[in-house]
Structure 1
Amino acid sequence: ICLISGGGSALLPLPGEGVSLEDKQAINRALLKSGATISEMNCVRRHLSAIKGGRLAAACHPARVLNLLISDVPGDNPMDIASGPTVADPTTCADALEIVRRYAIDLPAGARALLESGRGETVKPGDPRLEGVETHLIATPQMALEAAAEVARVAGITPVLLGDSIEGEARDVGKVMAAIALQVKRHGQPVAAPCVLLSGGETTVTVRGNGRGGRNVEFLLSLAVALDGAAGIHAVAGDTDGVDGLEEVAGALIAPDTLSRAWAKGIRPRDSLDNNDGHGFFEALGDSLVTGPTLTNVNDFRAILIS
């Protein structure tokens, strides 16, 4: 019985032939800073592993394997949850090399040799060693959004589910969400206030500054800048496991007075955004969202309340 959730990639490392743990850690850090999607990162990680990409399930053959998965990835594809140690992987070493090239990731010699030689190939669909594998998704981002929507309905607030697999640069998603919120506020479209815009998924951050970032706080800081203090709009965003980026902070909150309070403290919001310093920004305002470990992980959660 395999209980697998997000974070499994980090908790179950077994580097492939000629690759050290330090090599994989360095490659992973570079991918996180590059703006690569979670699917792209997982493709590379699977092909540099000796246990992911279906290899653990293959090692269990001929035993029956029952997968119970908690999804933290857009689209809930089992091969991307913890880099798919117990499911087939249709992607290839060539795909991984293309991703590395696309984002200009510097590969150590051993890792490059593993990919270029094809020795890092994963277990493919139709492999007889996977015939006894059964997979069930027991918690997903969509389930979290539906639960939040029910809470909103009980409170007399109309929920609008915008999607459970929204990706892209966090700051760009923030701008788009601000435009939707302002359309609701000004024109009552696509629904009238009071309402709450709910969304999930996993955005990315291309790191250009040296601040204390995280995709949810970067999203919120961009959202606040774009809203420019619009009345009656509040928002919360956080990683459902309680850790946004590398900080033991789930995310943060914004309100119509977020920017004015920052300026009063001598903090320039746009400068904080340019420096990828979302955590520093919200910590200074006392608006960080600290939950502690939630013991689950169904990706990011975002809610924008329009009153």
Structure 2
Amino acid sequence: MATWTNKTAQAVLLEMFNAAIKSADPHAALMDALPEKPKGRCIVVGAGKASAAMAAALEAAWPDVALSGVVVTRYGHAVPTRQIRIIEAAHPVSDSMSEVASMLILESVKNLTPDDLVIALISGGGSALMALPRTGITLADKQAVNKALLRSGATIQEMNAVRKHFSDIKGGRLALAALPAKVVTLVISDVPGDNPEDIASGPTVPDSSTLEQVRVILSRYHIDLPEHVSRVLCERRATVSAADIQADVRMIATPSKALQSAAAIAERMGITPLILGDALEGESAQLGIMMAGIARSVKHHGLPVKTPAVLLSGGETTVTIGKGSAKRGGRNTEFLLSLANTLAGEEQIWAMAGDSDGIDGTEDAAGAFVCPDSLFRAREREINAKQMLDEHDSYTFFAMLNDLIKTGPTLTNVNDIRAILIV
């Protein structure tokens, strides 16, 4: 492009983002991963932000198969289905419907035979949406621990290790309940590394986590448990192992495929893509500082790639709130505000970051754009970008600049997509 403006750069970045989301469309992704149709019954269960769309896709793919079962998704993410029951529940902190859905899911897989087939539709967000506390632990107990984990800066792997040991459905226990039926799990991954144990806390796969690991995680993040919860946690129980269940797991969409789709759009436009990885973790603000350095190297030195170029990355960063207060933000807008502060108005660099499910944290935006003049426009409005970053108020910053990206629920989830355009 001869002339780059905010409008043209944002359009290019948004096209890449949309291509990444489209690559994870359940209707397209599910078709090639379906198992053989069963001799007996076919029970469909599932949990996650994409699970309802996956259920609708399965019904469309198998119109001649009698299906039944229960799937739970986030409020606002349900789609019409004919045979499979869709329940909506809360995310990222479970509510009573999360518990109800879990009980109904377990009820649906009772009394099955070896001729029956259970198809589990699993995607990101399923851990909060499908919450069934262990006996002796209440939903309020789980909510309190989950809130503490979310504020602590713990990784998704650490959070889900803890969640499994507080649950009667996670960590393979759903598959155990479905025996002797065959269980096939179709997964849309949203976690770094695509480990099925970490996606929705692995309800249909063996659990390799240990109670000792859980204790280390709780200690590391200074999370204190009520005495009765600690007592239950100390009551050792066998984890579900590979000897207990046969896990047939099929990844139908991943962050890596999403980034490759975004890269293909860049190449078509004559922009050189550089995929930095689909599993970047760490503090959102620190990643913003690091990415700003790489972008400057590309602009000034042509390293590690010559312009025009786009730096693509995925994964799930964290925002550590601690015991302090926070305003409105998400990990993507926090990353972008840190990036903007570090770039300090560097010309010819634009960026976007967004959650592929359409919701960054708990807000109504997927993410936002950063432009070379973002800080200039903020100063014109007497907005203190550094103070808003310190206060974790990144959503408000980009809302005031009218630079939020609002897609609504996308009905899929392959985690965050970040793109930095250098021309």
TM-score by length of 1: 0.97
Q: Is 1:123 equivalent to 2:240 in the alignment?
A: yes
Letter in 1 for 2:345: G
Q: Give the counterpart of 1:73 among 165, 176, 191.
A: 191
2:116 alignment counterpart: none
1:47 alignment counterpart: 165
Q: Which runs of 4+ in 1 moved over 6 A?
A: none
Q: In the TM superposition, what whole-angstrom CA distance separates every residue of 1:273-297 from its partner, at most 9, and x where no partner exists? A: 0001111111111111111000000
**Do the aligned partners of 1:238 and 1:300 also contact (CA within 8 Å) in 2?**
yes
1:159 alignment counterpart: 273
Question: SS of the residue aligned with 1:272?
Answer: helix
Separation in 2, partners of 1:210, 1:169: 15
Q: Is 1:31 equivalent to 2:149 in the alignment?
A: yes
Letter in 2 for 1:22: A
Q: Is 1:14 equivalent to 2:132 in the alignment?
A: yes
2:411 alignment counterpart: 295
**Do the aligned partners of 1:197 and 1:303 also contact (CA within 8 Å) in 2?**
yes
Q: Counterparts of 1:102-251 in structure 2 under 5 Å?
A: 102-119=220-237, 121-127=238-244, 130-131=245-246, 133-207=247-321, 208-251=324-367
Q: Counterparts of 1:92-103 in structure 2 under 5 Å?
A: 92-103=210-221
Unaligned runs of 5+ residues in structure 1 are none
Letter in 1 for 2:260: E
Separation in 2, partners of 1:251, 1:236: 7
**Do the aligned partners of 1:174 and 1:223 also contact (CA within 8 Å) in 2?**
yes
Letter in 2 for 1:5: S
Q: In the TM superposition, what whole-angstrom CA distance separates every residue of 1:125-152 from its partner, at most 9, and x where no partner exists? A: 332xx13x31110000001000000010
Separation in 1, partners of 2:305, 2:129: 43
1:260 alignment counterpart: 376
Q: Give, in angstroms, the shift of residue 114 of structure 1.
A: 2.2
Letter in 2 for 1:272: M
Equivalenced residues, count = 303
Separation in 2, partners of 1:118, 1:243: 37
Q: Give, in angstroms, the shift of residue 266 of structure 1.
A: 1.0
Separation in 2, partners of 1:292, 1:109: 41
Give me the CA root mean square deviation.
1.0
Letter in 2 for 1:297: N
Letter in 2 for 1:68: L
Separation in 2, partners of 1:98, 1:114: 17
Moved more, 68-77 or 21-30: 21-30
Letter in 1 for 2:187: L
Question: SS of the residue aligned with 2:198?
Answer: helix
Separation in 2, partners of 1:78, 1:31: 20
Letter in 2 for 1:77: N
Question: SS of the residue aligned with 1:168?
Answer: coil
Question: SS of the residue aligned with 2:257?
Answer: helix
Q: Give, in angstroms, the shift of residue 112 of structure 1.
A: 1.4
Unaligned runs of 5+ residues in structure 2 are 1-118
Q: Give the counterpart of 1:284 among 393, 400, 407.
A: 400
Q: What fraction of aligned residue pairs are identical, expressed as a percent?
A: 57
Question: SS of the residue aligned with 2:168?
Answer: coil
Separation in 2, partners of 1:48, 1:62: 25
1:271 alignment counterpart: 387
Separation in 1, partners of 2:184, 2:301: 50
Separation in 2, partners of 1:219, 1:124: 38
**Do the aligned partners of 1:96 and 1:115 also contact (CA within 8 Å) in 2?**
no
**Do the aligned partners of 1:90 and 1:125 also contact (CA within 8 Å) in 2?**
no
Letter in 1 for 2:388: S
Letter in 1 for 2:306: A
Letter in 1 for 2:183: V
Q: Give, in angstroms, the shift of residue 122 of structure 1.
A: 2.9
Question: SS of the residue aligned with 2:359?
Answer: coil
Separation in 1, partners of 2:349, 2:319: 24
